Amino acid sequence: MNDNVVENVVNELARPEDVLPGVLHLLPLEKKPFFPAQVLPLVLDVRRWSKTLKAIHKADQSAVGVVFTDGVKPEAIESKDFRSVGTVCKIHHIEQQEDQYHVVLAGLQRFEITNWVSEKRPFTVQVRYFPELSPAESTEIKAYTTAIVNIIKELLPLNPMYGEELKMFLNYFRTGEPARLADFGASLTTADAVEMQEILETIELLPRMEKTLVLLQKEVEVAKAQTEIRAHIEGEITQHQREMFLREQLKFIQKELGISKDDRESEVETFRGRLEGCVLPEQAQSRIDEELDKLSMLERGSPEYGVTRNYLDWLTSVPWGKHSKDSLVLKNAAVILDRDHEGLDEVKQRILEFIGAGKMKGKVAGSIMLLVGPPGVGKTSLGRSVADALGREFFRFSLGGMRDEAEIKGHRRTYIGAMPGKFVQALRECKTANPVIMLDEIDKIGDSFRGDPASALLEVLDPEQNKDFLDHYLDVRVDLSNVLFICTANQLDTIPAPLLDRMESIRLSGYLAAEKIVIARKHLLPRQLQRVGLKKRGQLRIDTLAMRKIVERYAREAGVRRLEKMLGTITRKAVMRLLKKNKAPIHVTVKNLEQYLGKPIFNDEDRIAGVGVVTGLAWTAMGGTTLDIEATRSHSFNRGFKLTGQLGDVMKESAEIAYSYVLGNAEQFGIDQTFFKNAMIHLHVPAGATPKDGPSAGITMACALISLAKGRAIKKSIAMTGEISLTGQVLPVGGIKEKVIAARRMKIRNLILPEANRGDYEDLPDYITKGIKANFVSRYPDVVAHLF
């Protein structure tokens, strides 16, 4: 068929003067609208649309209207779902295949629904057509036509599918028909169906061409992006294939030259390389050689290979014979200890003696230090300072709550997920055989069905045994004799005696108010300022009197942990005030301190006074404290002695002994013999929710009973500690330093202490005993002489 014939056919299909029916049957388009410049294959369900096609055939017409329904399924479609503007099409071909019709349609013109004839299948409407009239030639139309053609040309190289659609369009239309070109351009895009319907509903040519040009421009950008992504992915795949090819070639060349190494040989070399510079015991060297030979014979995929490899990884990570050089200059050690800690002169001196002994001997080893003291006095940080002073690596782990002895001695290799114990892990991490290892909270170690970790520590902390420490996982002897162990504890009672026997105890007592103020100024406050981003000077000022009030009224405990929390609260509130545009510096004084910290926790009036009330001194794991003991006569119906205050067995025995002694010696102390005859005596230690136990309150309880019986109050400024026997002997007690500090903290200056503790008191530093009068007694009558 020549070109003229084709042109005649096209003109016959598209001529405006062709007679089109005024009433059309409708078919739905679910996904996107259909333009007059398109040829569309349509698949219809026989059951739903056979009536419509039969009605078209019966009307003896080949025209049908297709209208976009915006995603509504054909089975649920109603008349209201059809858009008002659609395309009238000529039916070229209908073929039935099983339960479907395959229909080929060619778009002719736009139409608008003016009236519904039938709102049920077959849907029938009256329409008005919009024939495409040949527009007058204008510059704008030519410009838009050229622009659309150029963009279509730009699209062709980006996607081959555009070329196929262009061929179909050119078979029926010419590019010189701007209306058809605009519709074709819109149908060519992958734009949103609603945007395409908007173009279909645009009857005027120029606005339609403008909207089509916008959609085509978007299509070009999307197509270019897709092309770039595809090219990038193809390039990556090509590069990966090239690298694989080159790598295979390299392996083959290395194999031919005899220089290739597989992963197994590389790992063996890595393990051997770790041992360079190490001094291995004969047993360890023999075990490593055996395991390396075994590894070289195993298949990489076998489970045994992974187990052996992990074992060698740990075995070769131990720093066999590698030691860091100790810094044994006492002057430098003293500077570091003074830099990190305020006060604690006795402890610092003991540490310097320890370093000095190591300097004389040539190495620091063979001793285990145990730092005992209340929380917050600097035990853990002292361990770090010792490591810095010696120039050694530092490793810390907590024993608190540890219940599995495998944490100490490792798991046996037969278990899945087996690992060495903490000490081997510490050596691996520190990379030296002589680090400082801190065992924190050794008094809180536990035991369970998994074993007894405290007993497992005996081998570690015994200088005579730890040179041949045996870890269950490594199963070879490891020398721990060069490790410096530093342990910390709050109290000694819960530490097993055999374990305690292997350690040298150094006690850390609490801080005085003056020491706390210096610590707060030099260490705690700068650290809190740094945490919140404040400058040390210029943004926050705390008066000395305010700092003293914080120490005495808010943080009276032995350590400085609560003091640091209080300073942290002040710095955070200061930040909030600065952020609210308050002028710097924020000034904290005694007057405005409660705005930052609230009401004081402690008051000077805390102490109880009166008949039958005596202040005792006690030692606790939190440091020294005062203990008010009250005695009263509750009734006279019968004789008896009652104790309250959650007292332990030792204190109950002390109370019984004090009661019996006072009762048996009442005449000697000027007490009416009939007072106790029918008296129910109630002895109470306040703060009943707190458990109390320990041999130090005997004379205090006896004094409370004598005060009650004589009806006279004891001096308010006096406090005492000591145990009493049935014969009136005053027995020595422990914790004298902590008790004196507690008395000083409560501003008590007159103390009664056992004569046997005179040496302990005289060993105290002058700044603790200054202004305090100590009365030493050996028998109870000497105590009574100081009471009233």
- Please identify every residue annotated as catalytic: 696, 739
List the structure tokens of 127.
Answer: 């329409």
Nearest to 551 by CA among 600, 585, 587: 600
Q: How many CB atoms lie within 10 A of CB 679?
A: 20
Cite the beta strand spans of 98-217 per DSSP E: 100-118, 124-130
Maximum Cα interatomic distance, the chain, rounded to a whole number of Å: 149
67: alpha, beta or left, given left = phi > 0 and alpha = psi -120 to 50?
beta
Tokens 């007592």, residue located: 509
Backbone angles phi, psi at 687, to 5 degrees: 60, 55
Whether cis (ω within 30° of 0) applies to the bond prior to 498 is: no
CA distance 753 to 778: 9
CA distance 279 to 252: 39
| Helix-strand-coil split of the chain, %, nearest 5 | 45, 20, 35
Give, for 517, the enclosing helix (H) or strand (E): helix 513-519
Helices (H), 317-420: 330-340, 345-361, 379-390, 406-409
Cite the beta strand spans of 333-392 per DSSP E: 368-372
CB 321 within 8 Å of CB 276? no
* Residues whose CB is less than 8 angstroms from the CB of residue 718 and which lie 6 or more positions away in sequence, other chains included: 615, 748, 750, 751, 752, 786, 787
Q: How far is CA 779 from CA 137, 160, 555, 704, 754, in A?
A: 132, 114, 37, 17, 9
CA distance 186 to 202: 12
User: How far separated are the first and last CA of the chain, in Å rounded?
Assistant: 139
632, β-bridge pairs: 682
List the structure tokens of 486.
Answer: 């530093």
* Residues whose CB is less than 8 angstroms from the CB of residue 161 and which lie 6 or more positions away in sequence, other chains included: none
Residue type, 788: F
Nearest to 123 by CA among 25, 47, 43: 25
Give, for 246, the enclosing helix (H) or strand (E): helix 205-257
777, β-bridge pairs: 754
**CB < 8 Å & 24+ apart, contacts of 755-759:** 755/730, 756/731, 756/732, 757/722, 757/732, 757/733
List the structure tokens of 614.
Answer: 């005596």
* Residues whose CB is less than 8 angstroms from the CB of residue 277 and which lie 6 or more positions away in sequence, other chains included: 322
- Cα angle: 421, vertex 427, 431; to 5 degrees: 150
**DSSP three-state, residue 119:** coil
